[in-house]
């Protein structure tokens, strides 16, 4: 009985000293390792059509009823950027992120890609990569007939590297994995198309 009583007293003393208190959670905010991340690209836009609107037919492939003219883009420079990269893909579930245009190493001095520039007058030093079509450069919308309205999204990435370490024929996942290692910020512009 004495042993039990001594044990209870010892436990009470241990608890009263504060040694048995639960640790206090760390409420300090975690510092952002990249403070420029998520800053907006000022005035990034696709100049060829209003955001969220139907994409004019001329930007579709010839088989899709258009002229396969590449879309025009413009943006304000991001001071910390060393280059830009571009992804233009189809976000409809049936399309499974079909890539229509993929560009790396757009120089930091560039602030636009004019309409129709793909394969002809791209900013010097930029690399048009192989897309889901199996071609380098822009190939526009060509959704299956009667597959409904497809959303096409142009995304511009500001990067902290002058050259993106991707092959000439990357998968979308390979491209995005490399982009995300160097991304400062991004901004997207969507449009729709159907046949």
Q: Is position 49 within any domain?
A: yes
Q: Is position 27 within any domain?
A: no
pTM over 0.85? The answer is: no
Q: Is position 9 within any domain?
A: no
pLDDT of residue 16: 40
CA nearest 158: which of 48, 45, 40? 40
CATH number at residue 126: 3.90.280.10
Q: What contacts 87, CB < 8 A, 6 or more positions away?
A: 99, 101, 102, 153, 154, 155, 157, 172, 175, 176, 179
- The count of structural domains within the chain is 1
Q: Is position 44 within any domain?
A: yes
**Average pLDDT estimate for 146-157:** 97
pLDDT of residue 9: 39
Angle CA(100)–CA(101)–CA(104) in degrees, nearest 5? 155
Q: Is position 82 within any domain?
A: yes
Q: Are 163 and 84 in contact (CB under 8 A)?
A: no
Place 19 in a pLDDT band, splitting at 50, 70 and 90: very low
Range of the domain at 182: 34-193
Per-residue pLDDT reduced to its tens digit, 163-187: 999 999 999 999 999 999 999 999 9
Place 10 in a pLDDT band, splitting at 50, 70 and 90: very low
């Amino acid at each position: 009985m004495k042993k039990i009583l001594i044990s209870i007293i010892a436990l009470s003393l241990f608890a009263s000293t504060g040694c048995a208190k639960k640790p206090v959670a760390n409420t300090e905010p975690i510092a952002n390792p990249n403070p420029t991340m998520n800053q907006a690209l000022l005035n990034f836009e696709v100049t060829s059509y209003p955001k969220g609107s139907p994409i004019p037919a001329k930007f579709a492939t010839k088989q899709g009823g258009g002229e396969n003219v590449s879309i025009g883009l413009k943006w304000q420079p991001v001071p910390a950027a060393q280059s830009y990269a571009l992804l233009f893909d189809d976000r409809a579930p049936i399309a499974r992120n079909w890539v229509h245009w993929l560009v790396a190493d757009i120089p930091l001095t560039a602030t636009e890609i004019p309409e129709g520039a793909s394969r002809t007058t791209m900013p010097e030093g930029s690399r048009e990569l192989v897309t889901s079509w199996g071609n380098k450069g822009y190939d526009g919308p060509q959704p299956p007939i009667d597959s409904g309205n497809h959303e096409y999204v142009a995304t511009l990435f500001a990067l902290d590297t002058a050259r993106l370490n991707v092959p000439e024929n990357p998968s979308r996942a390979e491209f995005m994995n490399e982009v995300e290692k160097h991304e400062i910020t991004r901004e997207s512009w969507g449009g729709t198309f159907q046949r």
